[in-house]
Amino acid sequence: SKQKCFKPWSYIPNGIMPVFWRVVYWTSQFLTWILLPFMQSYARSGGFSITGKIKTALIENAIYYGTYLLIFGAFLIYVAVNPNFNLQWNQLQTIGIAAANTWGLFLLVLLLGYGLVEIPRSHWNGAKRGYLLMKTYFKAAKLMTEKADAEENLEDIMEEVRKVSESIKYNHPLRKCVDTILKKCPTEYQERMGRNMDDYEDFDERQNSYPSEKSLVKLHKQVIYSVQRHRRTQVQWEILLEQAFYLEDVAKNETSATRQFVHTFRPREPENKIIQYFYTPTVEWYWECLLRPWFYRVLAVVLATFSVIVVWSECTFFSTKPVLSLFAVFIQLAEKTYNYIYIEMACFLTIFFLSICVYSTVFRIRVFNYYYLASHHQTDAYSLLFSGMLFCRLTPPLCLNFLGLTHMDATISHKNTQPTAYTSIMGSMKVLSFIADGFYIYYPMLVVILCIATYFSLGTRCLNLLGFQQFMGDSEMTSDLIDEGKELIRREKRNRQRQEEGENRRREWKERYGNRDDSTRNRVVHTDQKESSFSETNTNRPLSKYTRSNGRTERDRIELLQDAEPLDFNADAISDDPLELDSGR
């Protein structure tokens, strides 16, 4: 007997979803093609006022906007002159949507082909401790080079700022622009430069030697970029050091017989007290050394299975009889039983995995220093806006591709069913049959070639041949960089160990001798005048004044001082007399 179809609890009345999709689609298109490119130029402008930044952004985007207007105008003229074309406004709108989706689908397949292979592989390699540690060493060597380059670039820019600051005095009309530039500089450079505010030199006498406002705008732009890049490399270096130290600790603790995780350096206490209570050293050892590798392997196998299903469905979703797309098979099985919750969950998991594969690739892309998404809030405004443009352009074709995989698009399934709200907004692609019946169906098959290329790391090998250093296990350059990074990490580790040992010795000294009562110390000193005078004349043994009162304490202090290393000596923190370490004494 045929099952009844009950109205689901999340049912949305007719007419609401088309309005929702229309608002979402046209808002995202306005952002990605008009507003965000303008905001990119505005954010990167070196202007000193809002008006100046807007003017610069409009000039930079004039060619960008003019190209679109020229193409669209030529197309309208061609349609108006040619009598064979009788296009309505809705058909023109559909052509515009098809053009945007075609560009988005072209980029979508490229990113999807990389993500389908790289995401499962990265999780599988995450279970290899040696692999992660070697890759961290490799990153350390590359980041140190970038860090040194950023510091050198910042020094050069700050030198130019210093010259400009010295040439443009306080009474110059452009002095306020120089002050704006100086505010963007790091504090140590501001203090080093000085303002030279006491010089009353008449700027009109040497007017030709002063920089123009246009050159100051360019310098302001360079200062913003160099300061942000320097700060980013500094933060990334500190984070990479923590990762390298932790991976080395994991490698050491794998052979631990106590099964308790021991850190080389004192770890930061988690903000959540519940995690701090349950995540004990024993739990941490079992998770990091025993469970986590197996969890990553299982997760990699699950993700690889999803990737195979996606690749198969992308190559076969055009076949309706028989239905070969696995996603379409799952959805049609649920349709027969009217299992609405199952349909929702299947659709959610499918589009969620597709989104992860596509969007995670966007986060991995780096175009020199022009576009780069850095973690821990170190991404500049230009790259953030660029990523927003990509997301707005990728989302509509991603949804359209999902409807094709599940045969919910009438142009794919060739069924006289009620169209979805999204396809009703996209319009009928019959106006451009070569796109609807050709490009949309057969172009996604290219994902197979891209997956094969990603599996064999063809892109990485090409970049390596061109001179861009990439992590490759069989490369001599990679081995050299790994050795270099290992030495850098070892050097930083020794420096940090010396710092912690010095702090521990000072803390131990204060704990053992810093809380002694002053009256007791004065009484011991004045009870024996001979020993006091002896301690004053014998400068080589300043601790002998305590010999009578406590011989064992005397020996402890001498042993503690003998343990001190010359490398940890700090003239500002340690005085000639060890008894004067504490200011209270």
Contact between 520 and 545 under an 8 Å Cβ cutoff? The reply is: no
pLDDT, tens only, 432-474: 666 666 677 778 888 999 999 999 988 888 877 777 778 877 7
More confident residue, 423 or 573: 423
Residue 441 pLDDT: 76
- pLDDT grade for 62, boundaries at 50, 70 and 90: confident
Could you tell me which of 315, 371, 349, 398 has the C-alpha nearest to residue 107?
Answer: 398
Grouping H, G, I as helix, E, B as strand and the rest as coil, residue 366 is: strand
Q: Is the dihedral of CA 544, 550, 551, 555 positive or negative?
A: negative
More confident residue, 363 or 101: 363
Helix (H) or strand (E) holding 371: strand 371-372
Residue 418 pLDDT: 76
Grouping H, G, I as helix, E, B as strand and the rest as coil, residue 169 is: coil
Written as six digits, the tokens of 223 are 């200062």
Angle formed at CA 327 by CA 113 and CA 294, multiple of 5 degrees: 65
| Local structure of residue 367 (DSSP, 8 states) | E
Q: How far apart are CA 312 and CA 321, in angstroms?
A: 16
Please determine, for residue 538, whether its predicted confidence score (pLDDT) is greater than 50. Answer: no
Least confident residue range of 52-61, 413-422, 425-434, 461-470: 425-434
Question: Measured between alpha carbons, how far apart are the two ends of the chain, in Å?
Answer: 95
Residue 535 pLDDT: 42
Q: Is the dihedral of CA 307, 309, 310, 314 positive or negative?
A: positive
Residue 213 pLDDT: 87
Structural domain spans, the chain: 88-127+267-477
Residue 504 pLDDT: 86
Grouping H, G, I as helix, E, B as strand and the rest as coil, residue 372 is: strand
Over residues 51-56, mean pLDDT: 90
More confident residue, 551 or 360: 360
Among 85-99, 427-441, 541-555, the range of highest mean pLDDT: 85-99
Over residues 182-198, mean pLDDT: 76
CA dist list (Å): 257 to 252, 469, 563? 11, 40, 30
pTM higher than the cut 0.85: no
Residue 567 pLDDT: 45
pLDDT, tens only, 314-324: 898 888 788 88
Q: In the Cβ-directed half-sphere of 357, how many Cα atoms lie within 13 Å?
A: 30
- pLDDT grade for 94, boundaries at 50, 70 and 90: confident
More confident residue, 464 or 502: 502
